[in-house]
Structure 1
């Protein structure tokens, strides 16, 4: 006879049995979704790059995904930008060395060894954290704001703006709170000295950071992409958005050479986690090569991001690797082409070559919001798929199947050759293991060597609050840590002092600095709307207005405070207007087009709208019209409404 106890346990056991597959599927999906690597999205000048295990520093590539331990260095008259969240950026000025120490799901650690860097964080979820390690202390950021850090040979200065707050952990373990519009000076020595001052007025570097972030936040292409996809602003400058009935909004690149195909110009590099990763040469080459799918229509290649999902999933490349039959080992040993790849088309699955073993070489649609398509047929989630019987749609398109010599794959920049000798039926997808193994040159894809940063005789260790994760993952074999010209970043781990219940503890503030300059003047009041909408009266000639014999103090810039030595900068280092470089040189503008006025210093000039260099038409040599309808159309009555509002002069 069944007791009451067994009778009550029976529903619980049944519930656990039913929830088992769903829980396993959720765990698999969560494990497959790793953090999106930071993107090196902008380079101006000479920027060097180093990855652990490499022989030397090399020239950094735009669109490089950073891995744990990577280091960047900006040379003279140079700067760069790294994006590490949907609206979070770190920008480094000349003579600045920046490293990525660690990246977890909700916590990221950077190291500034020397120079000037700014962290412009426009949004941050509750519970996220950004740690900035310096030789004099670790700064933990947990809310949006603008943060500027300057690391010198004897002290570190940290400035907060736009409501930013942070916590400082010194080398001796003290934890101090940093408030908005504040400057903290940390001096090294036998006893760590910390002093607080009011944040100084913004300079050209701060204004350039604000201007660049404002422009990135106003991207038109962002309306077609998930909010966590980087590089939407690049699509605005280098292509057209069209609407197609079968694919929805698609993006067509403007400046590509005839016969171009996706994943044909760039480099394959080895990433410690994602393994073989594609870096495209195009300035817009981030989002279209790590998200979405590529379709070929009307003689054009178009990138289809698919329906917008709540959260995207980064992929090192969305291609299908192919081999010819079963003679891969012979071709690899003889140095002949033995590996091919083709861009995935609408709805096709990716066979991951990275991540946990239970995910590898199994069809995945993580991050894809559109239909699931196999062999041009829409399937259900429960459909059993034979990987060896997948025929990729883009393999039928001209010059879409690409290959490179085996001895050049991952060791040199790729100028892929289209496979035209073999029929698509001769290829089968790679499964089980990639036939090509990485070499030391694969860490940077054959990039040329670059000048390393100057080395100190006795480098100071950086302060960090937590150690980085080990690179050797559980499903990878143990391998010795290779030491190159720069070993792993030297760190000093300091545990922040516990404060118990923060609501009942007094706020620990740094003392006011004794060596202070004059008081900072209050800012001017914000302008009224009428002042911005009503045209200003013409200015009088300067000759008719006598110069006053005395200027009020409010019009003069306050002097720089003595305890804050500013690192030497070239005059144009922060004021240069960074401009994206198109894939091909644009033609000169028409004679009838008016010449725009030169932009003010620090303002980026948008690239000129040039006619597209069309891809090779599928059937005809005559120019083909763009498929679909324009996507970025404005409201018909908007222009008239704006004019009437301006005529009223605002309110």
Structure 2
């Protein structure tokens, strides 16, 4: 057998090196990301690529590449991205997440297909996004807020803030803020520009949801934006001696633990992921660590931002009982619930809030000051609240509810939330953590 010449060996090594270098961007682009189903109202279904097709969706279910979401006649949903950008779906809307990945330079890239229906997008501009609708594509690397509506006959795009560029069969089209465009699907997406925006029935829902995030996501010191507004609305941060910066939801009470209500979802390539049923239950179940603090109860310690987890971490304790974080039996593909899970439904004129509810059943932004209500529940064990209608109610209904709420609460001002102290993420070490295990006593 002849020995390969040095020049031939060098050529082969160079060829291999070139192939590796060419493959690097593709490998980097395929790096997976996971975003949050941050709000569910009414009938919402999810297809997680498990082979089961669509099944009922719950708040805080992770969304991975290839996932589809579908709302029913009275269904609405919201998706939050890592930087706090959001996308809201109106009734009878279907979207598919074609790509949730990272570029070779670490830039987050999202490609979404609006199959049918209407969606609102509030993009903050820190990451890149492409949105396909009809035969058109919107590509954004800057901040913009817009509405897209598509059907088999016509598609509409209305830009509330920023500028949006659209590219399709007729070429590129630039739409400035406070302007809109209509695309004739039957005529090769021929476009018609307008200097005004026709108001849609759910514009008020989108506007109020955007205001909620703007108000409660302020002073966020974590590297991520998804879930930050809910933490500030549904709970409070405080510095606890010996533990550092800790966060705790309102309305916890004796006997409550953070794992008693939720669901296990199976995702191909990821395995089982635990999704909390609480409206604030995203960041505390993906990052950081839960601890039981004597005389205070279960609290979440922010941190560990570089380690996204399928199963939430907690420090084992012998001081109280905690629900076991035990994934379903291998081979179980359908979502398995633990305790209670709920989709947000229209609120009654009044309802009782009790210790141990931890915010479940309270739509975000529906009560002016949850901290005030929390003190009442701590003193008496329960309290009556008169929540405002959900986002998107008529102005008359909102005004009437606001007046009733002002009378019942003594007219206290809306809460600005309890923002994370600047020391968040730099808490004192607290020992060994566990990501699951048996029930402890």
Q: Deviations over 1:125-146 (max 9, x none)?
A: 3xx4211112332222232111
Q: Does 1:271 align with 2:267?
A: yes
Q: Give 1:156 shift.
A: 1.1
1:202 to 1:227, Cα distance in 2 relative to 1, 3 A = farther
Structure 2 distance, partners of 1:582, 1:59, is 22
Structure 2 distance, partners of 1:93, 1:218, is 23
Q: Give 1:305 shift.
A: 0.6
Structure 1 distance, partners of 2:39, 2:387, is 25
Match of 2:112 among 110, 117, 121: 110
Correspondences of 1:262-411 after superposition (within 5 Å): 262-299=258-295, 300-306=297-303, 313-319=307-313, 343=314, 345=315, 394-400=316-322, 402=324, 404=326, 409-410=327-328
SS of alignment partner, residue 402 of structure 1: coil
- Aligned residues: CA RMSD: 3.9
Does the 8 Å CA contact 1:92/1:118 hold for their aligned counterparts? yes
Q: Give 1:601 shift.
A: 3.7
1:224 to 1:91, Cα distance in 2 relative to 1, 3 A = closer
* Alignment gaps of 5+ in structure 1: 1-26, 320-342, 346-393, 411-435, 448-571, 574-579, 609-629, 635-651
Correspondences of 1:127-206 after superposition (within 5 Å): 128-170=127-169, 174-189=171-186, 191-206=188-203
1:194 to 1:288, Cα distance in 2 relative to 1, 3 A = same
Does the 8 Å CA contact 2:181/2:193 hold for their aligned counterparts? yes
Give the TM-score normalised by the residue count of structure 2.
0.66
- Which residue in 2 is equivalent to 1:422? none
State which structure, 1 or 2, has the greater radius of gyration over its C-alpha atoms.
1
Q: Which protein, 1 or 2, shows the higher relative CO under an 8 Å CA cutoff with sep ≥ 6?
A: 1
Structure 2 distance, partners of 1:633, 1:67, is 28
Does the 8 Å CA contact 1:240/1:251 hold for their aligned counterparts? yes
Structure 1 distance, partners of 2:96, 2:269, is 17
Q: Does 1:91 align with 2:75?
A: no
Q: How many residues were matched structurally?
A: 339
- Which residue in 2 is equivalent to 1:616? none
Does the 8 Å CA contact 1:151/1:157 hold for their aligned counterparts? yes
Q: Give 1:303 shift.
A: 0.5
Structure 1 distance, partners of 2:308, 2:215, is 23
Q: Deviations over 1:143-184 (max 9, x none)?
A: 2111111112211111222122223233x7x33333333322
Match of 1:445 among 336, 353, 359: 336
SS of alignment partner, residue 235 of structure 1: helix
Does the 8 Å CA contact 1:283/1:581 hold for their aligned counterparts? no
SS of alignment partner, residue 90 of structure 1: strand
Give the TM-score normalised by the residue count of structure 1.
0.46
Correspondences of 1:419-568 after superposition (within 5 Å): 437-441=330-334, 444-445=335-336
Structure 1 distance, partners of 2:135, 2:166, is 13
Structure 1 distance, partners of 2:246, 2:294, is 13
